[in-house]
């Protein structure tokens, strides 16, 4: 049991170190948006103090993957498949972190964000 706890701590430290090092790849505007988004999630999900840093690490990890995907030269279909894969992985991690009720709120918030993005896209064209 003690080995499991130590392993989890090591993994979390490793993830947070990597996320911190890669965070520099985000522009200041993106970092500001990320912080605002995290604050909104903290409020909506009513995260505990233990959950907040883990939630932030997971979110940063996947934000960086999405940013890399956005600038990728892959075809549209390949990007879509990778997007789905990234979202699926993130949701799996979030499901293990959050309670059932928190996860339900998280998924609803995701749907709201997607709806807003779709509306913005339609307004651009």
Could you report the per-residue pLDDT of 70-100, keeping only the tens digit for each?
888 889 899 999 999 999 999 999 999 999 9
Look up the pTM and report it: 0.69
DSSP state of 47: -
Q: How many domains does the chain have?
A: 1
Residue-range definition of the domain harbouring residue 89: 2-124
Sign of the CA dihedral with 35 first, then 26, 14, and 93 last = positive
- pLDDT over 70, % of the chain: 78
Q: How many CA atoms lie within 13 A of 32 on its CB side?
A: 3
């Amino acid at each position: 049991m003690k080995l499991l706890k130590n392993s989890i701590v090591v993994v979390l430290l490793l993830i947070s170190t990597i996320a911190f090092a890669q965070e520099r790849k985000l522009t200041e505007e993106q970092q500001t948006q990320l912080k605002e988004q995290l604050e909104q999630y903290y409020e909506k999900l009513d995260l505990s103090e233990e959950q907040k840093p883990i939630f932030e690490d997971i979110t940063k990890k996947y934000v960086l993957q999405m940013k890399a995907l956005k600038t990728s030269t892959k075809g549209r279909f390949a990007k879509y498949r990778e997007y789905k894969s990234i979202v699926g992985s993130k949701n799996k991690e979030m499901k293990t972190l959050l309670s059932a009720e928190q996860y339900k709120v998280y998924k609803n918030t995701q749907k709201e964000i997607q709806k807003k993005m779709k509306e913005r896209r339609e307004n651009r064209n």
